Amino acid sequence: MSLGPLIIVSGPSGSGKSTLIRRVIREETAPLRLAVSATTRPPRPGEVEGEDYYFWSPERFREQLAAGAFLEHAQVHGTNYYGTPRSEVDPYRERGEGVILDIDVQGAAQVRRLCPDHLSVFVKVPSWPVYEERLRKRATETDESIARRLRTAREELARSGEYQHVIINDDLETAVADFRRLLAAHRAGRPVNQERR
């Protein structure tokens, strides 16, 4: 059996990538799952251990890192660590299931080197003011946190050209259709139009 596809998805906070990923997983007929990342940040209200993230202590994270348990890892916003345990990816791909990684640009660069058979997609919105508007609408971030996320967003956007495809998420239905078209072509081994919207 051939390996299931590995799909790398990145995009700044406020790009809507999590909503996009959930929709694509729900609508796909072939087996497809989102890898659960581990993080050292505390859970936000409503987040569930093992479903949203694995919430680990910094000590446990470092132990697992030293043991080679991560496919990729990064320190995000200068504070907390995030990483994708190999146990969330390898066994599923070996069974032919597709795995989506929702990871930042640092982690994505690591995975692209390790897994040349990947499909990489960068998600963004049509204009810069939309990011700030979406972050403020969340009402879960302080002004300081929003400013830090916006600085990170600028850095991430500057690296969107490293990805095979860019999806502009100005209309969710169109973005879902674009994503599914890329995934279908990747599964079939067909070349996909590299033009970026």
Q: Report yes or no: 20 and 167 within 8 Å, Cβ to Cβ.
A: yes
Q: Is the dihedral of CA 107, 126, 53, 165 positive or negative?
A: negative
Half-sphere exposure of 81 toward its Cβ, with a 13 Å CA cutoff?
20
DSSP 49: B
Mean pLDDT of 59-79: 91
pLDDT at 196 over 60: no
Reading the block at residue 1, the tokens are 């059996």
Lowest pLDDT segment from 2-16, 90-104, 132-146, 164-178: 132-146
Q: Which residue has the higher pLDDT, 140 or 61?
A: 61
Query: For the whole model, what pTM was predicted?
Result: 0.89
pLDDT at 173 over 70: yes
Q: pLDDT of 110-145, one tens digit each?
A: 999 999 999 999 999 988 888 888 777 776 678 888
Reading the block at residue 90, the tokens are 């390898």
Domains and CATH numbers, the chain: 1-35+98-192 (3.40.50.300), 36-88 (3.30.63.10)
Whole-number Å distance between alpha carbons of 72 and 84: 6
Whole-number Å distance between alpha carbons of 104 and 162: 12
The total number of residues written for the chain in this structure: 197
Mean pLDDT of 166-183: 96
